[in-house]
A and B are shown apart, each in its own frame.
Chain A
Amino acid sequence: MGVPAFFRWLSRKYPSIIVHCLEEKGKECNGVRVPVDTTKPNPNEVEFDNLYLDMNGIIHPCTHPEDKPAPKNEDEMMVAIFEYIDRLFNIVRPRRVLYMAIDGVAPRAKMNQQRSRRFRASKEGVELTDEKNRIREEIIQRGGYLPPEEIKERFDSNCITPGTEFMDNLAKCLRYYVADRLSNDPGWSNVTVFLSDASVPGEGEHKIMDFIRRQRGQPNHDPNTHHCLCGADADLIMLGLATHEPNFTIIREEFKPNKPRPCALCGQVGHEIKDCQGTAREKQGEHDEFAGSMPVSEQEFIFIRLCVLREYLARELTMASLPFPFDFERSIDDWVFMCFFVGNDFLPHLPSLEIREGAIDRLVNIYKDVVHKTGGYLTENGYVELERVELIMQAVGVAEDNIFKKRKEDDEGFKRRMKEKKKRMKMDQQRGPAYMTTGQFAPHALGRRDRPEAVQNARHQAFDMRMQSREQHNKDAAQSLKAMIRNGGNSSAGTSDSADNRGVKRKAEDSDSEPEPEDNVRLWEEGWKQRYYKTKFDVDVTDEDFRQKVVKSYVEGLCWVLRYYYQGCASWEWYFPFHYAPFASDFKDIKEMFTDFDMGTKPFKPLEQLMGVFPAASGNFLPETWRNLMSSPDSSIIDFYPDDFAIDLNGKKYAWQGVALLPFVDERRLRAALADVYPDLTPEEEKRNSLGSDVLFIGRSHPLFDFIHELYRAESLEGTEIPAELCHGIQGTLNLDDDPILPDKAVMSPIPMLRDISQNSSIGAKFKDPQYADGFVFKAVLLSGAKLPEKVLKPEDFERGNRGPWRPQLGFNPNRQQAHLDQSGFRALGHSQNRNHRGRGQYSNAAPPSSYQQGNYRPQHSGGQQSYQHSRQNSLLGAPPSFHQPQYPRQQQYGGGGHGWDRAMQSQQSAYQQNSSRGQGGAGPGGYQQRYDQRRDNWHDRRDNRGQQHQGYSSGRGYPPPPPSSRYNWN
């Protein structure tokens, strides 16, 4: 969903939905990689049945990664994709189903967004190259150094669109990959693999939803299937909730903000292209040994537990004394619906609802106010009750004026604060500390090999320092005096005098603050509605008809989107034909505005969709006569392909947030124009242009194997139902594949660097989801027999006295065993630590602890000292790693390499200290502080240098403080 902030908002508000993944890494022994045995129980202490992969979330980072060098060619890309899937498979270890869905042709409603993305990508690419060339020239003229331009064909990420050769190859490679794993990896042997490639219409995640929905609708479905869906889009959360499956988990890469990106010109990290100076590369590490390695750790994964989110939502949405019975499942659907107001891929969001301003909370409050009047829920099974929605919209509309005013105030406050901060930072930077000791008193990094030497001739050194500082003062004074004289008291205007240091600095800084784009709409001023319609739609506010048209389309859009999430694509042709949304207050008399969608609409063919979403610059993915339609002045669809287009920032700051003002595609004219060039397709292209089918693969030991093998032997031509008992209750129709993967038939490797599978023992067949009659409505309810998972959140009525202290649950297993170290173990540790206090002993060779285990810290149970050591011990001995706390510094401490252990300990301690000082422990802090002090006494003699502690502390401080989390409230 086009709401990048949604996930962040959600995870801050409902922190317990996130569980960090434990990943067992493959080991290496004498240079041979030992694969992970995925038949073993899942180290996350949960067993998943089905794993669904939204493949586009995998393909993009694997083909053009942002944090590592790009793969050199298509083969390497494929291998990267395979490895990524392996990794996910290893973490999730599905036991029944692996479903891989690649985006196929999307509904028209989505195509507009795709079109805008692809046109933008093309435009940005051109602009980046222009800028690169310009700056390169400038730098070289200035005598800077830049590495020679790499002559390399840029991977056009636009080829990740159904219908291109690349996608066709990908599908072939994935077939090979599946056959290989089914034949060779024991963890796969009982898994049913579905591959829905780009030739099957529908977006990846919606194909997955369709699968789940259609399996749920048939009687053999196991209501307690544990689903795990992989993908980073926020709308997966909505989709997961919309299934009403009780066990639904999403896995995604952990989001790490502000990852350093190398400059596109010189390849160094730390500045953007426009600030590139072309200076020589800094040495990485003492002997440049870290050159070429990027300072990033491997992406880790997190689980998002939707059952926990449901618990949170139950708390938030439950309403007493309603005029109708409260049904939690229905209120979830309403919540999902309201999230669409804030943003989705198919509609622009309402101008007054901005997720960063707490729009969802506002909506929920309004909802709870209004629901008494509406007399029922807003939605049912994905159908919208428009008159009730109107009440909500009107309530939002009343607040609209104030929202805009407040937005302006906040914005200005923010700008002011940023300006002050910048000023402050600059002052700090320029001035530095008032006084620095120098010479032998100069600050030294700790833990270096040359140990501190005895101070010699201290008095003379002190004298030197004194004199030096006085001289410095004199110099400064002289300089400022000179500057004053030179400018004749007019120093602020130093436009030209570049010898004048101050003038130059000032100038550079001013040009730094980019001019704000003007905002003609001024939503915060009287008459905003008029101006909005005038500037955005170019109509007068009096043009009631036009406004009605926009509202009507938006209402249709809301209905379409909700239906899409709950019932599947209602219309392949519907789309929102404007660039902007109306105001909430415009939603009047909307009940009559929507009846139903046209039935029987058909998706585009892949190449037709390519014509609909590609800019002319990406025309190389199309046959020549088709491509000509995108550029020839005589083409009857030339208006779809502007060279350049305007981007309206629409109150936002960055171009990528703005609205691309692209013309919409006229479907009739597109089809008419293509009718003429269809005969030009080669058979190969025609094949790519046809709609394909999902494919099912299984290995030899799967119960269904013989059944399918028999189908091939019998050459049965019609579709055959899967016997439900053979495949965990999964239903569907099987058809023979034209070019099937069959056991004992070698599978040729499409990638030169990988071997052919000579001993293939997998089989594949076409698969079709169970079909339902037209007009069938999938019920958005919990299935009978579904067991809700145990509650994770602390009950609100939890009393401390009678049930003991509350223990937060940190993983999937509420009764997880925690590693424990007794007194003697601790003594042994202390002993060895004492001996190696300079960090060069045996422990410095041990792998650094991979994480901090806040979770093991149990102050109430045992002495604080002891439990603290638990966590330390855990990480040190490489016992089963426990919970990762992403907020805490990880890389930084081990960056030095040599002194991992000592420093880690110190900063870990300080991390605790920091926490306790945040006062989140409730009753905790007092006691904890005390224990901490005790411990500090114990340690005093062990520490080789107390200063180190402070160092560790300050390195911890560089990270943003963790968001308030209920995790620390243990009472």
Chain B
Amino acid sequence: MAGERSGEDIVSDYLGQNPQLAQWVETLRGYCETRKQWLARREFILRNMEAFPTVEPGVPSSSLDRLLSLSTVWANHVFLGCSYPQAVMDKIKEMSEGIVVIDAPTHRTTMDGMKAKRSATTEADADSCVKKAKCGPNELDSRPAGRTATRPVGQKSGPPPQAPAEHQPFFNRLYKAVAWKLVSAGGFGPNLDHFEILRSCVESCKQTLSCVFVPLKDIAGLPTARTQKEGHVCEIRCQTVYMGTGYGRDESAAKAMASKEALKAFQGRKVTVKICRRRYKGRDVEDLMLLDEQPRSQGFPPALSYPFQDEQLEDGSS
């Protein structure tokens, strides 16, 4: 039963039994605090009083100030969108376990449209049956608010730095295979079956291609003029190394386009595997890319898949 009641009810019952405590705790309310904010912070304070045994109701002390400070840190994080040094964040995360705030506001901390969504309760709050704040589908990957969210996560989850060197020999072989294949096909041109060429070359080097398809309408963040109902985008990788992206009306057209794009890199004098930064799901990530020597006039298309996303990344975000 108790699990179905909100924490607020429990707190008010508790305070009803301790009128003196109730009176005292009310003095800690900030002037500009809304009722909702205050109730949440009050719960935080009351729940953590035991952890600060030197706090005595009605007696100002430095330990009380510390508790108040941490409660404000938590409230600022939830209601204002502030973030604090990691050690502080860890501490309030622990202290706020079990407190539920329904419908906490969202705030953006950086200007490049990064949404920093704080889900109000601690995510570890799995056993609580309380209905959580309604979250949109993209808010499920709740990341910690603030700069931590915008920092490129590449260091942790990107490809290892030695990866380009490891992959380079294979692509040197592939380069030769493609070159011969193109010579026998009469040179690179629009009338080739690009995917077939690429596939056969890769397979002749004892590897396979991996294609990822995404319907165009599922790609968020495109300008409205671009959001067409139909059409697919295909991304081709080989051994986790990105080779090309293409768009087409159906999947095979997209695949053909992506292969053509990939083959373009083989038109230069050599191909190189490099770690580059590009966008993936609205974040900057480090990706393994196959490049020719030509300087690129523009950035890379955003990645559709990201093979280097390991558990660490998932951990870091929860």
Contact = CB atoms under 8 A, between A and B. Distances in A.
Contacts of A643: 82-85, 146-147
Contacts of B223: 510-511, 513, 515
B85 A493 contact: no
Which secondary structure dominates chain B's binding surface?
mixed
Given A138-B277, A511-B223, A647-B109, A661 B32 contact: no
Interface of A: 126-127, 134, 137-138, 141-144, 486, 490, 492-499, 504, 508, 510-511, 513, 515, 517, 535, 537-539, 543, 546, 549, 553, 577-578, 616, 631, 633-639, 641-648, 655, 661-664, 666, 669, 672-673, 676
A477 B230 CA distance: 30
B281 interface: no
Contacts of B76: 639, 642, 663
A636 B284 contact: no
Contacts of A134: 277, 284
B246 A538 contact: no
A137 B277 contact: yes
Interface stretch (B34-42, B168-176, B308-316): B34-42
Given A142-B296, A636-B69, A639-B73, A495 B80 contact: no
Contacts of B298: 498, 504, 508
A578 B37 CA distance: 14
Contacts of A577: 30-32
Contacts of A511: 223
Given A633-B91, A639-B73, A645 B80 contact: yes
Given A642-B76, A661-B82, A635 B109 contact: no
Contacts of A635: 66, 69
B190 interface: yes
B62 interface: yes
Given A141-B276, A639-B73, A639-B76, A664 B62 contact: no
Interface in B212-261: 221, 223, 225-226, 228, 231, 233, 244-247, 249, 257-258, 260-261
A496 B244 contact: yes
Interface residues of B, number: 67
B262 to A, nearest CB: 10
Contacts of A669: 65, 68-69
Given A493-B228, A495-B301, A661-B82, A639 B69 contact: yes
A510 B223 CA distance: 7
19 contacts: A492-B225, A495-B233, A517-B113, A537-B34, A538-B34, A539-B34, A616-B85, A636-B68, A637-B65, A639-B69, A641-B84, A642-B146, A643-B83, A644-B83, A644-B148, A645-B80, A664-B32, A669-B68, A676-B62
Given A493-B231, A539-B35, A644 B146 contact: yes
Contacts of A504: 298
Contacts of B126: none
Contacts of A663: 72, 76, 80, 82
Contacts of B249: 490
A496 B146 CA distance: 33
A488 B286 CA distance: 34
Contacts of B116: 646
Interface string B279-294: 0000010000000000
Contacts of B23: none
A672 B30 CA distance: 17
A142 to B, nearest CB: 4
A870 to B, nearest CB: 53
B70 interface: yes
A636 B62 contact: yes
Nearest to A672: B65
Interface string B153-171: 0000000000000000000
Contacts of B91: 633
A481 to B, nearest CB: 13
B57 interface: no
Contacts of B59: none
A787 B165 CA distance: 85
Given A141-B276, A142-B295, A646-B80, A638 B109 contact: no
Interface centre among B69, B223, B244, by most chain A C-beta atoms within 10 angstroms, is B69
A616 B85 CA distance: 10
Contacts of B36: 538-539
Contacts of A137: 277
B62 A661 contact: no
Given A644-B83, A661-B82, A669-B69, A127 B110 contact: yes
A498 B258 CA distance: 11
Contacts of B83: 642-645
Interface string B63-106: 00110111011001001111111011001000000000000010
B34 A672 contact: no
Given A546-B35, A639-B76, A643-B84, A496 B65 contact: no
Given A578-B32, A645-B82, A646-B107, 13 more contacts: A490-B249, A493-B228, A496-B247, A498-B264, A635-B66, A636-B66, A638-B88, A639-B73, A644-B109, A644-B148, A647-B108, A669-B68, A672-B60
Interface in B16-71: 30-32, 34-37, 60, 62, 65-66, 68-70
B111 A655 contact: yes
Contacts of B264: 498-499
A538 B37 contact: yes
A604 to B, nearest CB: 18
Given A577-B32, A662-B82, A538 B146 contact: no
A672 B108 contact: no
B85 to A, nearest CB: 6
Contact of A486 (B84, B190, B295): B190
Contacts of A539: 34-36
Given A143-B295, A486-B190, A647-B108, A638 B244 contact: no
Contacts of A672: 60, 62, 65
B228 to A, nearest CB: 6
B247 A495 contact: yes
B62 A638 contact: no
